[in-house]
Amino acid sequence: MNRRLFTRLAAWPLALALLVTGMTGAAPAAFAESAEQVEEIRGLLERYHLSRPDEDTLNRAAIEGMIYALGDPYTEYLPPEEWEAYQRDLEQEIVGIGVYMTNQNQSVLITDVIPNSPAERAGIQPGDVIVEVDGAAVKTTDDARDRLLGKAGTTVNVVLLRDGREIRVRVTRQLIRLASVSGQPMGDGVGYMALTGFTSDSPERFAERLEQLEKGGLKALIVDLRNNGGGYIEAAQEIASHFIRNGVLAHMINRDGKDTPLSVSGTPRPYPVVLLVNEATASAAELFAGALQDYGAAKLVGRKTYGKGVTQLLIPLSFGGVLKVTTQEYLTPNNRKVEGIGLTPDVVVQGPAAQLAAAYRAAGGKTMQITYVMGNVTINGVRTRQPNAVYNHNGAWYVNGHFAAAVLGAELSYDANTRTVNMTRDGKTLSIRIDDQRLNVQNGLSAFDIRALAEWAPELHWNVDGDTVKLSLTASAG
């Protein structure tokens, strides 16, 4: 029987059918009596209940009841059709048209189009707004996703809004495998790699991209684990070998308390490494990040991680489908507990764009070229999304305080006595009262008038063209 160790926070409804099994041989007498009771009740329900429940319905309910009694959201029984879909999720495969979307003002905005996808071939562009899918109006990404996904080879009609005019396209769905690894230079010798999941091919792809970046000359590396829900532990183990010489990736503790250390050995990088994490960094991604943090091989920047510190076995069943059952809890090399707790970053930063800027600075980066348009923020060629990073208020442009502090390498604070928001760097402070027009506060978040920032930090340059704001930072920043 093929069994594979696996840990992932899957994007699946918790209402999926669940199963626990593995009992073999003769059952004890007490259990036999209980089983007889179950069979008696089953028979009476089939015979008398108004709904005429069939055997399959009651069997499924019995399975769900057994799993529910465990109180474990990660143990699941996946019937054959759901297992097939789950495998695609593990390998980051979808059957759709190939677009990334976000909710914006009760509409669905396309933020990116996957290269060589049906969407790209149909002429769909980032910035397009999805109005209808197959004649049905869509207001949220959930609505759009439900209608855009389907069977390979089928077609879908999409109405888009672009520059105030409607565009109608007909797109044929296909199987798309999302890249689990991507990367590029960011400047100042800093390389950037995004690792979106620990798939079966991610170790090979990671090694290839890392080699490409190192050939260009690296002084530091950022590995983006934000929204990485985990995957195969073997993949995390192999990728960790690029950063840990000889050690333990994690302590795997079974239900008897036995520790089976997961070893790792390799060649550490000769330069600083920064890991970007957030509240959706989970499972194998936390295992990986926790090990690098414990060994001092990397600094974590971002927000506290999800806190999934248990692993599952994937066990094919004789009657079809797969049992995903929790069998171990893992602790970091320094025996830190992750389950229900998560990992605390070395540098806590709020907001995706601010996190990217802070990671770049933590890696030694100084110069930045930043473009903001319609909620998308591009920093030295790496795009993320933070709608409130920059915005216009009463004709003036404001920069989110956390984002500005990350870009300028400053600290943000609030003085309740003076009612001022303070930006401090190298002993120099920009202090603005909350009733000053150079400061705008929305939903408890402070934003600085871009002109005030540029006056305080002369190495910051900016210009606005319509809805596009460009910021540039020279190397003289502290």
470 is catalytic: no
Helical ranges in 419-460 per DSSP H: 450-456
Q: β-strand 181-187 against 174-177: which pairing, if any?
A: unpaired
d(CA 452, CA 454): 6
Strand, helix or coil for residue 132? strand
Q: Are 196 and 180 in contact (CB under 8 A)?
A: yes
* Sheet containing 411-415: order of strands: 411-415, 420-425, 428-433
163 is catalytic: no
d(CA 280, CA 303): 9
Q: Are 373 and 387 in contact (CB under 8 A)?
A: no
Q: Are 233 and 287 in contact (CB under 8 A)?
A: yes
* Residue of 283, 324, 446, 449 marked catalytic: 283
Copy the structure tokens of residue 186.
């960011």
Strand, helix or coil for residue 405? helix
* Residue of 128, 180, 308, 446 marked catalytic: 308
Residue-wise DSSP of 273-303: EEEEE-TT--THHHHHHHHHHHTTS-EEEES
- Cα–Cα distance list, 246 to 237, 286, 310 (Å): 12, 19, 23
139 is catalytic: no
* Residue of 294, 324, 446, 449 marked catalytic: 294
- Cα–Cα distance list, 25 to 22, 28, 33 (Å): 10, 10, 16
Residues catalogued as catalytic: 283, 294, 308
